[in-house]
Amino acid sequence: MYIVARESEITAQSLNRLFELAGADLPPVESVRAEALDGGYGYLSLAFRLHVKWSGTGASGAPPTLIAKLPLQARLDAMTPDAVRMFRREAMFHRIVAPTAPIRTAKAWVTEIDESGAATLIFEDLNRYETFEDNETVAMERVEDALSQLAALHARYWQSPELESMDWLAFPAETGVDQVSAARFARYWPELVRSSAYELSPAQLRLGELLSEKLDGVYEALHAGPMSLIHTDLHQENLFFDGNETTFIDWAAAERANPAKDIAKLTASCLEPGTVGQEQPRLIRHYWDALMQQAPLSLDGRGIKGEGDVGQRPTAQRPSTSSGRREHAVPTEGYPLCGSQGSDRGSMVEREIPNQVQHDKQRHPISVTAADLERYTLLATCHYLGMMTFLSGEPDFDSLTANPETRTDFTTSRVIAACDREDLVAAVEAV
């Protein structure tokens, strides 16, 4: 095992050794320059764009830039064991799931990690695609494509026995993190109410009051529902777009959990906050229709019974391509998107995304109605309100009582704004 854990260790020699160990089909590195991204660090990791000069045969077709993620050791030393395992989780996702997953992911060239949490993860650079800041709204067609792909991934692992063997996935139902979240929400919500940072509506105030008492019950209801492999952290900066087609990055928080959590986080983060309550039911049905396309047939040749007749499955339509902001144009010809490590397995040529699951024999019955899915998504939206509220009260995050004009935690503010809804109140009252 060979780990590069510091910027100073990123050299042509170290990259050549990493690529050799990973079996990457790349020419030799002649030189490399590391450029820090977004100040060089996130909450748990350092991120760099590697400007690579290649040599030898194949140099002209090799990608001019790559993305490296290294651990921010100062944060790792203070984190819980589950948080430290996030690097291993991302590495294992790209080693085990991504090569055949019915979802678009960045190609992982290197996924080296040791037991201490030190890691070297090197991915293709998606700078030719478009992405958004956390305070920006994502076009509806793109949200729909993301949901269609998520439905295919969730269907692949829906109630699958394989999940039991994926011990690298987070499993909130057993780790106790939800209980911690509930306790901290009860502590921090009154601080938010007392602050002048937000003018909360009667619905938001009532929802916060209910969750202070019943958030544990919300989590229990989600745990009692269906389980699949989910992303968990679907905010704007983890989504890249080629036209309306979505590529998902940052699988460090992947869980074995209720798929509605992905629907809730995606819609609450990416839609205009004031429209979430109006658009979420339609988008849930869009996801459910896509999910039913992936469902295996029952013995009578019909689709698994949900809401309405799903014997004839709907045909998903690709939304038309539209332009947007922050476009990039740095091609990496010859190195297609895929999830395999150092090979062409899982390339976009080999798998249709997102409406075809290759391994039919591994799919499992999906018996969930659209109404069930809507209820779970409402509860999952409350889950994210709880998570974002207590996280924003922690010392390492912006305080909820900070001046909104100087805040950088836009995801939290968007989730709070998206929870100005009476249907959320009703969902929690019914728990």
What is the per-residue pLDDT for 179? 82
* CA 280/CA 275 separation, integer angstroms: 8
Check residue 298 and give its pLDDT. Answer: 34
Say how far apart CA 420 and CA 412 lie, in whole Å: 13
In this structure, what token pair is assigned to residue 210? 């209910």
Structure tokens at 219: 């989590």
| Per-residue pLDDT of the chain in tens (431 residues, 90 and over written 9) | 788 878 899 999 999 999 999 999 999 999 999 998 875 555 567 899 999 999 988 899 999 999 999 876 655 555 556 666 788 899 999 999 999 999 999 999 999 988 776 779 999 999 999 999 878 899 999 999 999 999 999 999 999 999 999 999 988 888 777 888 888 888 888 887 887 566 889 999 999 999 999 999 999 999 999 999 999 999 999 999 999 899 999 999 999 999 999 999 999 999 998 899 999 999 999 999 999 988 764 333 333 434 433 333 333 333 333 333 333 333 333 333 433 333 333 333 233 333 333 334 456 678 889 999 999 999 999 998 887 765 555 544 443 333 344 344 556 777 888 889 999 999 999 99
Helix, strand, coil distribution of the chain in percent, nearest 5 = 45, 15, 40
Strand 45-54 relative to strand 65-71, pairing: antiparallel
Tokens linked to 202: 């009667």
Place of tokens 């067609």: 141
Give the pLDDT of residue 81: 60
221's CB contacts (< 8 A; 6+ apart) are 376, 379, 431
Q: Which CATH number fits domain 7-124: 2.30.30, 3.40.1350, 1.10.10, 3.30.200?
A: 3.30.200
Distance CA 391, CA 405 (A): 19
pTM score > 0.85 for this model? no
Ordered by start, the domain boundaries in the chain are 7-124, 140-316+354-429
In terms of phi and psi (left: phi > 0; alpha: psi -120 to 50; beta: otherwise), the region of 326 is: left
Region for residue 356 given its phi and psi (left: phi exceeds 0; alpha: psi -120 to 50; beta: otherwise): beta
CATH, domain 140-316+354-429, list 3.40.1130, 1.10.490, 2.60.40, 3.90.1200 = 3.90.1200
Instruction: Give the DSSP letter of residue 30.
Output: E
Query: Pairing relation of β-strands 108-113 and 255-257?
Result: unpaired
